């Protein structure tokens, strides 16, 4: 990616341009030391003077709160917040009239920011104070008093904290009274600018030490730039939180969220005092010391999928190249391109008012959809459909252009959704709750979602697998502790409660990515690239988990790499310097997955025999056990020397009832609750009781016996023998109440047990 730079010649400032902001995605507001407020329209190229401020007002910061900016439509009245050198802030309406001026600070008011919901604003000044004000300009509180001027400040994503600069120090101060602030030394020189992304939660800072740095919300440094020639005078996050811009004297740099530089421009502007992104994240406005307003457009966005490469060469065109044949297609659009996504045999291009859907086999006749709001922030593709995330809504479309669903629930705010917090599969949408970080909503496409998945810790990333049936849908989630968990997307009915299976799969995981076609999971784990060849083994036979993974040394990827793609047997890893490195996994595992999907067990066995690899054998054992193919599972377990499992499978094969066999296969992986459920569904109450007795789940065994009025004496006898073997006395009240009511005749009980087994044989 890089910037394409132009200058708004129609904007005729007579002095330094010090402030800039966006009114709508196509309209820029600028002001400077000439006291004039200009409005510049990018579509028409026209500039008009909104108003001329009084001669004693020298603007230092400008920020707009406009519903039209967030939704793409005009609703209500926009308000511009202007801070000035006389210590006041001013609320200016769209017509240029100053609605209110408020004495805010002693000395200059250096920074003013609206909160994200527009209900309040903050100001900071030379007196070292940061204050919170209501929308109407009434003082709510003085958040912080420092000994140095506050040159820059920003709201936290939830607007419950304030970030401010104080000399060489950054401070995060919660708005809650009597709460300690988090402060740390961030730079070797004066900090001039800070910004806090509402999407990624990352902080950027720049100052007179000629560096910019990236921090997390706890003050841990994620990135430090090289030494620049001049101080960093302005910074700004893109709305999606996936990139930011940093500027100084005759310098404009586009950076990824990790901090590495995408492009460097050297415009002859002098110092750039302010930067502002448009709401769609494709345009940047800059206030320059040479009296000019600079506009930069993000171009050269590059996407790859299999043999295709899509590049946005200009504002209104995308070039698609087939690297295998060198064939090129240039797609022209009447409006500028906002979003594009390539994958699953389709290219989706979004402009400011329409969405174009192309099949990769035909780039001549797209399907065109008119957008509801015209402000798309995210496009997610899956095999059968794609998801458009707009500023106030989400829409699921088929690749034929048909609207399938519009998921929504209380508290959903699509304007600041993070890509790590939403995932799409062929039948399910997963999204982390924005109010409660511990909840993950799982919505079935074309149906209602069950209860949200509740995790013990805040969730940092979610990812749904793309292959298999809806009943086998898996959710990989990474929590705030960087622990990786695997959860079933579908719910289980156990008695009166509804539960989801969830198990821990790994620790110290930075990022994860599912294969686009197979149930294979890759992730950066600590200092290595880990590939889980068959993650579902965690629910089938957990003891095989360590034997079905491959760990590769990640030293070649450098510091803080991230997995960004997983196509076929190629894992795409983004290094900290921005380079995309491909790592190869064994192609035989993909073939094995295909054989298992088609139930071609003979071919799968032939493949494993020829390879002689224990990892592949372990994968086959788990796949066969999941598919209930006993012969294949027996041979696979034997190949990896799991003698106990082989003996147990031989026992299963001797059982006369299919339902009992399925239950015993569930027991093979330690899933007692699943085994009991299978037996009860097949009417095998006696075996369900015996399963609980063999696993020493005494209370549940007695509960089943009493409920079905059978084999209560059998349960009591096994309990008695167990206590006698360990020389213990009965203390369980449930068993004590039956002690004198039920006569334990061992011969009769043994006859009843034998009768149950004979009845099973007779039924086959």
25: exposed, middle or buried (C-beta count within 10 Å: 0-12, 13-18, 19+)?
buried
Confidence of residue 764 (pLDDT cuts 50, 70, 90): low
Residue 76 has pLDDT above 60, yes or no: no
| Alpha-helix runs per DSSP H in 385-544 | 537-540
3-state SS assignment for residue 687 = helix
Q: With contact defined as beta carbons under 8 Å apart, do 474 and 464 qualify?
A: yes
Mean pLDDT, rounded, for 481-495: 79
Residue 274 has pLDDT above 60, yes or no: yes
Mean pLDDT, rounded, for 325-346: 92
pLDDT digits (tens, 9 = 90+) for 187-215: 999 999 999 998 888 999 999 999 999 99
Gap between the Cα atoms of 265 and 297, Å rounded: 12
Gap between the Cα atoms of 568 and 583, Å rounded: 11
Question: Alpha carbon 671 to chain centroid distance?
Answer: 30
Confidence of residue 753 (pLDDT cuts 50, 70, 90): confident
Q: With contact defined as beta carbons under 8 Å apart, do 333 and 505 qualify?
A: no
Confidence of residue 492 (pLDDT cuts 50, 70, 90): low
Gap between the Cα atoms of 442 and 337, Å rounded: 31
Confidence of residue 617 (pLDDT cuts 50, 70, 90): very high
pLDDT digits (tens, 9 = 90+) for 288-305: 999 999 999 999 889 988
Confidence of residue 257 (pLDDT cuts 50, 70, 90): confident
pLDDT digits (tens, 9 = 90+) for 670-694: 778 888 888 888 888 998 999 888 8
| Alpha-helix runs per DSSP H in 75-226 | none
Q: With contact defined as beta carbons under 8 Å apart, do 340 and 312 qualify?
A: yes
Confidence of residue 556 (pLDDT cuts 50, 70, 90): confident
User: Which of 534-543, 558-567, 589-598 has the lowest average pLDDT?
Assistant: 558-567
Q: With contact defined as beta carbons under 8 Å apart, do 96 and 82 qualify?
A: no
Closest by CA to 463, choosing from 484, 433, 445, 490, is 484
% of the chain beyond a pLDDT of 70: 97
pLDDT digits (tens, 9 = 90+) for 574-596: 887 777 888 999 999 999 999 99
Closest by CA to 190, choosing from 214, 213, 206, is 206
pLDDT digits (tens, 9 = 90+) for 93-113: 888 888 899 999 999 999 999
pLDDT of residue 464: 94
Cα–Cα distances in Å, from 143 out to 261, 323, 424?
35, 57, 41
Q: With contact defined as beta carbons under 8 Å apart, do 292 and 269 qualify?
A: yes
Residue 438 has pLDDT above 80, yes or no: yes
Q: How many C-beta atoms surround the C-beta of residue 539 within 10 A?
A: 22
Residue 233 has pLDDT above 90, yes or no: yes
pLDDT digits (tens, 9 = 90+) for 128-149: 999 999 988 999 999 999 999 9
Mean pLDDT, rounded, for 411-435: 85
pLDDT digits (tens, 9 = 90+) for 38-75: 999 988 889 999 899 999 899 999 998 865 444 444 43
Gap between the Cα atoms of 482 and 508, Å rounded: 5
Gap between the Cα atoms of 266 and 36, Å rounded: 27
pLDDT of residue 231: 96
pLDDT of residue 646: 93
CA angle 752, 754, 757 (to 5 degrees): 110
In our burial notation (b when 16+ CB lie closer than 10 A, e otherwise), range 233-244 reads bbbbbbbbbbbb
pLDDT of residue 447: 66
Gap between the Cα atoms of 688 and 696, Å rounded: 12
Residue 517 has pLDDT above 60, yes or no: yes
Residue 741 has pLDDT above 90, yes or no: no
Gap between the Cα atoms of 319 and 332, Å rounded: 9
pLDDT of residue 81: 93
Cα–Cα distances in Å, from 134 out to 73, 117, 138?
25, 12, 5
Gap between the Cα atoms of 267 and 354, Å rounded: 33
Gap between the Cα atoms of 271 and 373, Å rounded: 36
């Amino acid at each position: 990616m890089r910037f394409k730079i132009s200058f708004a010649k129609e904007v005729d400032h007579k002095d330094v341009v010090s402030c800039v902001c966006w009114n709508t995605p196509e309209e820029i507001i600028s002001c400077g030391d000439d006291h004039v407020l200009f409005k510049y329209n990018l579509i028409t190229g026209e500039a008009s003077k909104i108003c001329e401020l009084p001669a004693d007002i020298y603007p230092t910061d400008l920020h707009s709160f406009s519903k039209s900016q967030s939704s793409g439509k005009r609703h209500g009245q926009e308000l511009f917040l202007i801070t000035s050198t006389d210590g006041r802030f001013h609320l200016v309406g769209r017509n240029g009239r100053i609605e209110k001026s408020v004495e805010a600070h002693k000395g200059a008011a250096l920074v003013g920011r609206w909160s994200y919901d527009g209900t309040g604003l903050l100001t900071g000044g030379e007196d070292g104070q940061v204050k919170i004000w209501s929308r109407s300009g009434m003082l709510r509180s003085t958040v912080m008093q420092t000994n140095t001027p506050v040159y820059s400040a920003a709201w936290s994503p939830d607007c419950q904290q304030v970030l401010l600069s104080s000399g060489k120090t950054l401070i995060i101060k919660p708005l809650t009274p009597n709460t300690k602030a988090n402060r740390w030394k961030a730079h070797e020189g004066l900090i001039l600018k800070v910004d806090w992304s509402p999407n990624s939660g990352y902080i950027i800072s720049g100052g007179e030490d000629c560096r910019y740095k990236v921090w997390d919300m706890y003050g841990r440094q994620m990135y430090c730039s090289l030494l620049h020639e001049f101080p960093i005078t302005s910074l700004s996050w893109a709305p999606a939180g996936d990139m930011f811009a940093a500027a100084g004297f005759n310098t404009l740099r586009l950076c990824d969220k990790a901090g590495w530089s995408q492009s460097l421009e050297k415009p002859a502007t002098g110092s750039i005092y302010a930067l502002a992104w448009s709401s769609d994240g494709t345009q940047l406005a800059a206030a320059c010391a040479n009296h000019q307003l600079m506009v930069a457009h993000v171009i050269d966005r590059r996407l790859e999928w299999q043999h295709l490469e899509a590049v946005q060469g200009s504002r209104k065109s995308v070039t698609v190249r087939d690297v295998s044949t060198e064939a090129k297609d240039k797609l022209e659009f009447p409006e500028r391109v906002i979003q594009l996504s390539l994958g699953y045999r389709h290219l989706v291009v979004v402009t400011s008012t329409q969405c174009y859907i192309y099949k990769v086999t035909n780039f001549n006749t797209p399907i065109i959809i008119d957008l509801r709001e015209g402000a798309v922030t995210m496009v997610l593709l899956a095999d059968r459909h794609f998801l458009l995330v707009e500023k106030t809504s989400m829409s699921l479309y088929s690749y034929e252009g048909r609207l399938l669903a519009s998921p929504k629930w209380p508290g959903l705010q699509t304007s600041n959704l993070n890509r790590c917090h939403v995932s799409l599969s062929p039948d399910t949408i997963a999204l982390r709750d924005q109010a409660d970080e511990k909840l993950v909503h799982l919505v079935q496409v074309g149906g209602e979602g069950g209860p949200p998945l509740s995790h013990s810790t805040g969730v940092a990333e979610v990812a749904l697998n793309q292959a298999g049936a809806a009943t086998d849908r898996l959710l990989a989630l990474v929590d705030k502790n960087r622990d990786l968990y695997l959860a079933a997307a579908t719910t289980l009915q156990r008695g009166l409660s509804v539960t989801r299976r969830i198990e821990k799969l790994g620790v110290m995981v930075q990022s994860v990515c599912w294969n686009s076609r197979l149930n294979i999971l890759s992730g950066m784990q600590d200092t290595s690239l880990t590939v889980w060849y068959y993650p579902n083994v965690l629910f089938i036979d957990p003891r095989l988990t360590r034997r079905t993974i491959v760990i590769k040394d990640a030293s070649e990827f450098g510091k803080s790499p991230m997995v960004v793609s997983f196509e076929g047997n190629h894992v795409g890893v983004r290094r900290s310097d921005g380079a995309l490195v491909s790592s190869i996994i064994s192609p035989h595992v993909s073939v094995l997955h295909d054989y298992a999907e088609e139930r071609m067990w003979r071919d799968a066995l032939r493949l494993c025999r020829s390879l002689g690899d224990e990892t592949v054998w372990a994968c086959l054992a788990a796949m066969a056990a999941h598919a209930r193919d006993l012969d294949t599972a027996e041979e696979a377990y034997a190949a990896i020397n799991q003698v106990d499992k082989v003996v147990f499978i031989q026992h299963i094969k001797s059982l006369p009832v299919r339902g009992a066999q399925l239950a015993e296969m569930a027991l093979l992986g330690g899933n007692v609750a699943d085994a009991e459920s299978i037996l009860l569904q097949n009417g095998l109450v006696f075996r369900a009781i015996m399963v609980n007795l063999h696993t020493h789940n005494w209370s549940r065994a007695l509960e089943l016996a009493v409920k079905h009025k059978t084999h209560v004496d059998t349960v009591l006898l096994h309990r008695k023998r167990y206590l006698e073997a360990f020389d213990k006395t009965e203390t369980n009240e449930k068993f004590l109440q039956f002690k004198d009511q039920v006569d334990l005749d061992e011969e009769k009980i043994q006859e009843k047990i034998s009768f149950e087994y004979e009845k099973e044989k007779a039924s086959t």
